[in-house]
DNA sequence: CGAATGTTTGACTGGAGTCAATGAGGGTGG
DNA sequence: CCACCCTCATTGACTCCAGTCAAACATTCG
């Protein structure tokens, strides 16, 4: 039973820009169905050109790139509200792969309809650019982290960013959130080795700043983490949702 | 004497997507003037919301972010054809600063006209998203470099990417191009120290793969560099130009 | 000529990687 | 019900790539 855009539970969250009634009905026409995939399923492949685009309704995943020697770079964590396939939609080719980490529920759109969709409502073209810019903004910050922060700073930064993002999406409160990833995933996101990542997380745990286990994160002292991570507590900026 | 979009010398280069006559005249209406700035001039500031957007007609620059402890991450090198201020234009805030490295000639647009511009021609909204996606794509690759490649691989990767980009813009040939940056800039782009960057460049020079001095790069063996850098020789994908 | 900027070297240090082994659950097939 | 396996977290010992420090060069410029 597909969710109607009109009743989309995500759209109301503070993280997302409000949509007019017309936008919503336009969106609804563009939506061709809903897809549920199991954990571990690949959704989009680096270098490919998917015929479909997705918005994450529920669940979490990973965006990643592979290097010829087998190393993996996690480019971002996928949260509800994320739009998948934009690069393929506009450039014709994905720069990274996307896979499901939990069970994922996705709204499905046809890439071939994208152009008609935008023509019908030019504002959506603008918002597509907005979405891409949000991702670009994040990647610049991530690049700065991997390039300039120490391991301790990087991990503290990651906890802060992840928590604030989840909180703004309405899937975290009281410092508690679901985080169904492995230490290896965080290590690959920050360009650190698994062992060093583990020891660094341990340090933060022993200082009573965070807890992480059983797929859940518990932030005990967000402010202290932000200080260590050389970052701020500012809420993620509002973004459109497709 | 402002360049007419109709006669824009950049637009014809293979790197850029063709534009219809109508697109060009639309573009021309959007363009409010031309700006020439001296080397070292800041163009856009991280965190700010510029009232103007720019397309680089001529010259080179840097996109960078600063960390509270004084470290700098160079997010990308700015080449002719690059669009500056997109993040401010759609999200309302720049994620990085942009500064001129050489004398820069910029086409100037009013941010306040951006919306009217897109409404008049929805395809340009799509292309704005395309531009942002190109940048997102690059940043994912850069993140992978900084996170996963060794110093030698990173620097080889950078030379390959930079040369191919310049070549596709028509500002490089026979392995030779202008590159008016300091080793510190490359070090900050790759998350390496100046000293280590210097020694690593030295290694590549001694292997006769590349030359760099007097603001010029000479690629002697692109293929070998690509192999070391774990990357391919594929030409940058076509992108729109604003 | 002295000051400034950028490149190059050498010596030393240290943060993070690698290797390897042990724990700690969670399944599952006999 | 339990032995065995598999995945992931945790530790300790050791190594090494890259960072830091410091000084020498090379150019340019006022």
Per-residue pLDDT reduced to its tens digit, A96-107: 999 999 999 999
Q: Which nucleotides of C are covered by protein (CB under 7 A)?
A: 6-11, 15-20
Question: Residue B19: what pLDDT?
Answer: 95
Global pTM value: 0.96
C-alpha closest to that of A106 among A53, A62, A63: A53
C-alpha closest to that of B116 among B19, B20, B1, B32: B32
Asked if residues B90 and B27 have their Cβ atoms less than 8 Å apart, the reply is: no
In this model, does residue A11 exceed pLDDT 80? yes
Min Cα separation B86/chain A (Å): 7
As given in the structure block, the two tokens for residue A24 are 């919503």
Using CB atoms, pick whichever of A67, A75, A115 lies closest to residue B140: A75
Distance in Å from D20's C1' to B85's CA comes to 37
Q: What is the pLDDT of residues A117-137, one digit of tens each?
A: 999 999 999 999 999 999 999
Cβ–Cβ gap A73/B119 under 8 Å = no
Question: Residue B1: what pLDDT?
Answer: 65
Residues with CB under 7 A from strand D: A 182-184, 194-195, 198-199, 201-202, 213; B 150-152, 191-193, 195-197
Asked if residues B35 and B108 have their Cβ atoms less than 8 Å apart, the reply is: yes
Question: Residue A53: what pLDDT?
Answer: 98
Q: Which residues of B touch A65 (CB under 8 A)?
A: 140-141, 144
Fold annotation for A5-126: Jelly Rolls (2.60.120)
Distance in Å from C13's C1' to A197's CA comes to 22
Residue range A211-229: mean pLDDT, rounded: 98
Query: Could you tell me the residue ranges of all domains in chain A?
Result: 5-126, 143-228
pLDDT band at A218 (very low <50, low <70, confident <90, very high): very high
In this model, does residue A1 exceed pLDDT 70? no
Q: Which residues of A touch B131 (CB under 8 A)?
A: 129
Question: Residue A3: what pLDDT?
Answer: 86
Write down the residue that tokens 């932000």 correspond to.
Answer: A226
Name the protein residue, with chain letter, whose CA is nearest the C1' of D11: A199
- Rounded to the nearest angstrom, the gap between the alpha carbon of residue B38 and the centroid of all alpha carbons in its chain is 18
As given in the structure block, the two tokens for residue A155 are 């991990």
Interface test mutation site (partner A, options B44, B98, B143, max chain A beta carbons within 10 A):
B143
CATH of B143-228, one of 3.20.20.150, 3.40.50.1470, 1.10.3720.10, 1.10.10.10: 1.10.10.10
Q: What is the pLDDT along chain B (242 residues), one digit of tens a residue?
A: 688 999 999 999 999 999 999 999 999 999 999 999 999 999 999 999 999 999 999 999 999 999 999 999 999 999 999 999 999 999 999 999 999 999 999 999 999 999 999 999 999 999 999 999 999 999 999 999 999 999 999 999 999 999 999 999 999 999 999 999 999 999 999 999 999 999 999 999 999 999 999 999 999 999 999 999 999 999 999 999 99
Question: Residue B2: what pLDDT?
Answer: 81
């Amino acid at each position: 039973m597909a969710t109607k855009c009109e009743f989309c539970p995500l759209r109301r969250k503070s993280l997302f820009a409000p949509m007019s009634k017309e936008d919503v009905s336009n969106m609804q026409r563009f939506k061709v169905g809903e897809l549920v995939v199991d954990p571990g399923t690949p959704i989009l492949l680096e270098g490919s050109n998917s015929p479909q685009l997705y918005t994450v309704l529920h669940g979490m995943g990973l965006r990643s790139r592979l290097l010829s020697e087998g190393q993996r770079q996690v480019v971002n964590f996928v949260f509800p509200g994320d739009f998948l396939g934009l690069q393929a939609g506009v450039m014709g080719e994905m720069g990274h792969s996307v896979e499901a980490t939990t069970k994922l529920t996705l709204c499905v759109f046809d890439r071939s309809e994208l152009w008609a969709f935008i023509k019908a409502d030019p504002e959506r073209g603008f918002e597509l650019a907005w979405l891409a810019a949000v991702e670009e903004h994040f990647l610049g910050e991530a690049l700065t982290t991997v390039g300039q922060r120490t391991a301790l700073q990087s991990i503290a930064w990651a906890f802060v960013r992840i928590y604030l993002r989840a909180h703004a999406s309405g899937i975290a409160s009281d410092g508690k959130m679901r985080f169904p990833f492995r230490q290896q995933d965080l290590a690959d996101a920050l360009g650190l080795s698994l062992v060093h990542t583990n020891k660094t997380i341990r340090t933060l745990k022993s200082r009573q700043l965070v807890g992480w286990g059983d797929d859940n994160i518990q932030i005990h002292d967000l402010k202290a983490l932000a200080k260590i991570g050389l970052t701020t507590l500012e809420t993620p900026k509002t973004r459109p949702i497709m």
